[in-house]
Structure 1
Amino acid sequence: MDALAGLLDGPRARGAFLLRMVMEPPWAVRVADRAPICLMSVTRGTAWIVPSEGAEPVRLDPGDIAVVRGPHPYTVADAPGTEPHALVGPGGHCTTLHGRPLSQEMLLGVRTWGNAAHGATAVLVGTYLMDGEISRRLLDALPPLLRLPADRRTGPLLDLLDAEIAQDEPGQHVVLDRLLDLLLIAVLRGWFSRPGAEAPAWYRAMSDPVVGVALRLLQNDPAHPWTVASLAARAGVSRAGLARRFTELVGEPPMAYLTGWRLALAADLLRESDATVEAVARRVGYSAPFAFSTAFKRVRGVSPQEYRATGDGGEPPARTGLPERQRNLPTG
C-alpha cells in the first residue's frame, strides 16, 4: 500500500452524494452541508467557488476540478457577487434561504438538478458524506479549497463520470462511488506532483530508497510485530541509521508512526465494519484487546466501543435512512 492506496483500500465512498447541476445565470447556491470533502468540475460554461472566510474566489472552466474540504460553508455561483438563492444543508437537503423546499421544483432528471434543463453551465458534484482516519492523514495536508486545471489524467475519468451520473442501472451507486474514489486519487496525484507542492512529510518520504521501504512494510502489514531492527534489516541499513533517517524525513520515529497507523486503521474498521473489538485489535497488531483499548483511549479519548457508537466520541452519527435514489439528489 502506498501513500494514496489507503484512500481506496481503507474507507471508500459509500452512497456518496452525486449529481449534475445545470444552471442558467444568474444563479448561486450556498453549501452548508458540513461534508468532509467535495469535488466539483465544470463540464459546460464557468462557475465560481466563493469561500466564506475571506479567501479569494476560485474560477472553474471546463475540465478544471475543485476540491473543497469541510466543514466550513461556501458558495457556488455564476459570478462571485451573485447572491445565493438556494441553500444546501446536511444530507443534501435543498431549500430557499427562508427554508422553502426546492428539490422537486428544480429536479431535472436522475441525479440532475438545476434551474434550466439546457442551462449555460453544467457542474458535476461528488460529495463524500463520511471521512476516515486513513484518508484524513493525507487530506489534512490539502488547503481548504484547491483547483486543479484540466489534465489528461483526470479528463477521461470526468468524461466517464459525466456519462454515468445520470444512469439508473442496478448497482449504479457503487459504480459512481468507485469513479469518485478514482477521481479523487487522480486529483491528489496531480496536486502533490506540482513543482513546489507541500505534500505531507511521510508522503514525500515514500520516494526515499530506505524510508520508503520501511513505510510500505508498516502500511502493508501493520499487524506484524515490527521492531526498528527488523525494519532496518529489510531496508538494508543499520538500526540507528533507519531510526535517524526515518525521524528526519517523516517527523516521528518508526514505532510512533506504526502506532498512529494502527490506530487510524482501527478507527476506520470500528466505524466501517461489524468486526468485534477483539478482531479489530488482532487485525491491526494488538494481541490483547485490553492493550488495544488502552492505546486507543489514550489517543482518541474514548474507548473503542464508545467510538463505534458515536463515530468520534461525540453524538451518534446521523442516519438518513433514504434509499439510494433519494440520497443522490437534493432533498427538501
Structure 2
Amino acid sequence: MPWLNGSIAYAGVSRLASVDVLAGLLDGPRARGAFLMRTVLDPPWSVRVEDRAPLTVVAMVRGDGWLLPHGSDPVRLRAGDVAVLRGPDPYAVADDPATPVQAVVHPGEITTTPDGAALCEQWGLGVRTWGANPDGSVVMLSGTYQLDGEVSRRLLSVLPAHLVVPRAELPLVPLLADEITRDEPGQEAVLDRMLDLLLISVLRAWFCRPEARTPSWYTAHADPVVGRALRLLHGDPAHPWTVASLADAVGVSRAALARRFTDLVGEPPMAYLTDWRLTLAADLLREPSATVAAVAHQVGYSTAFALSTAFKRERGVSPSEHRANA
C-alpha cells in the first residue's frame, strides 16, 4: 500500500517534561510501527485516496504532480514539496488534473482499480515500494496518521484542509527517501522517528508562513515571558500551579503575567492549564487499566472527585461516561 499507516498512542504525561507547546501537542500524533511506502509511477498517472484518514503526509521525491483536494482547486506539487491533508474527505494526486483515476485507496489499506479489481499484489515492487513501473519517473512517499484522542484534535483543529510546504524548507525528504527501501534491524523505529520529524518540520515551516492561520499558542511561544510560562505548564501539568507561582517562576509580577498571557493566548493562565489538564485526562482515561484516581494524580488533581467535578463541569460528562463513549 502506498499510504503509511502509523498507529497513534498518547504516551502519558511523563513524556511532556521539558517540552514546548508544539512538542506537547505533537506527542499525540506519533507514528508507532509505521508501514511507510513509496509509490513509483510514469505519466499518465492518477491515484484517488478514499481511506478517510484524519491526517495524511505526501512527499514528492522525484518528478512533479498535482494535488487534487476535495472541493478545492488543484495544487501543484514539485519535487521535494510536502503536502499535509486533514481528513476525512477524499483527494487525488496525479500527473495532470485531467488524467483519469488509475488506482483507488480504500480504508484498511486496500487498493483497487476504479472498477474494483485488486492492485496490492499486482503493483508490489519490493521493499516498501508500490506502483506500476519500478523505473518510473515519479516517486512519492505517502503516509497517514490514524489520530485518536483529545490531544490530537487540538492539533487538527488549527490545520487547514490541506497545506503544501516547498522543498527549500524541508531537507528531510531526501533522507527519508534513502532510508525507506532499507531492510535492516531497527528500521521500523528509524522510519517512525523520521516521519515524526518530517511532520514537525512541515508544521513549523507552515506556521511561519504569512498565509497560515497560526494558532495563538504557537505565536505566544516566541514571547520571552508567556513562552516560558507555556513550557512550564506543558512540562509539568501536575504541579500545583497558581498565577503567583507561575509568575514567580518566569520572573514577572502576577498582574503582568495574567495580562500578557491573556492578551497573547486568548485566555488566562489557569483557564489554559485547566483545559490542558482535562485534555490530557481525556486521553489517559482511554487506557483500560487507568483508574480515575491515577489519572487525576497524573494531571494535577488531588482526588478522583476533584477531577470528576472539573471534567463534568467543562465537558458535560463524567470521566466514566467519557471512557464508555470512547
- TM-score, normalization by structure 1: 0.85
| Residue of structure 2 equivalent to 1:198 | 213
The structure-2 alpha-carbon separation of the partners of 1:25 and 1:275, relative to structure 1 and needing over 3 Å to count, comes to: same
Letter in 1 for 2:120: S
Equivalences for 1:166-185 in 2 at 5 Å? 166-185=181-200
Partners of 1:67 and 1:211 in 2: CA distance:
29
Say which of 133, 149, 159 aligns to 1:142.
159
Structure 2, gaps ≥5 residues long: 1-18
Classify 1:280/1:270 alpha carbon distance in 2 versus 1 (closer, same or farther; 3 Å): same
Checking the alignment, whether the CA contact within 8 Å between 1:11 and 1:272 is kept in structure 2 is no
- Name the CA distance, whole Å, in 2 between partners of 1:72 and 1:190: 24
Q: Name the amino acid aligned to 1:80.
A: P
Instruction: For residues 54-113 of structure 1, give each alpha carbon's deviation from its aligned partner in whole angstroms, at most 9, with x where no partner exists.
Output: x12111111111111111111111111222222212232212233332211111112211
Q: Is the 8 A contact 1:11 1:268 kept in 2?
A: no
Task: Return the alpha-carbon distance in structure 2 between the equivalents of residues 73 and 196 of structure 1.
Answer: 23
Question: SS at the partner of 2:108?
Answer: helix
In the alignment, structure 1 segments of 5+ residues that lack a partner are 315-332
Q: 2:252 aligns with which of 234, 237, 242?
A: 237
1:17–1:127 contact (8 Å) kept in structure 2: no
Preserved CA contact (<8 Å) 1:43 1:63 = yes
For the pair 1:87 / 2:104, whether they are aligned, the reply is: yes
Q: Does residue 1:28 correspond to 2:43, yes or no? A: no
Q: Which of the residues 262, 267, 274 maps onto 1:259? A: 274
The equivalent of 2:64 in structure 1 is: 46
Letter in 2 for 1:34: R
Q: Secondary structure in 2 aligned to 1:151? A: helix
Q: Deviation of residue 25 (structure 1)?
A: 1.7
Of 263-272 and 139-148, more deviation after overlay is shown by 263-272
Contact 2:29 2:145 in 1 (8 A): no
- Name the residue aligned to 1:277: 292
**2:129 is aligned with 1:107:** no
The verdict on how the C-alpha distance between 1:100 and 1:292 changes in structure 2, with shifts beyond 3 A counting, is: farther
SS in 1 for 2:175: helix
- Of residues 186, 189, 194, the one that matches 2:201 is 186
Matched, 1:226 2:248: no
1:329 counterpart residue number: none
Structure 1 residues 299, 168: closer, same or farther in 2, change over 3 A? farther
Q: What is the CA distance between 1:26 and its match in structure 2?
A: 1.6
Aligned residues: 308
Moved over 6 A (4+): none
Q: Which amino acid aligns with 2:213?
A: E
Aligned to 2:125, the other structure's residue is in SS state: strand
Inter-CA distance 112–212: structure 2 relative to 1 (3 Å threshold)? same
What is the CA–CA distance in structure 2 between the aligned matches of 1:117 and 1:4, rounded to whole Å? Answer: 38
Distance 2:186 2:322 in 1: 30
Given that 1:17 and 1:129 are in contact with CA atoms closer than 8 Å, whether structure 2 keeps it comes out as no
TM-score by length of 2: 0.86
Whole-angstrom distance in 2 between the partners of 1:273 and 1:162: 38
Distance 1:283 1:108, change over 3 A: same
CA contact (8 A) 1:17 1:92 kept: no
Query: Equivalent pairs: percent with the same residue?
Result: 63
Q: Distance in 2 between matches of 1:303 and 1:92?
A: 36
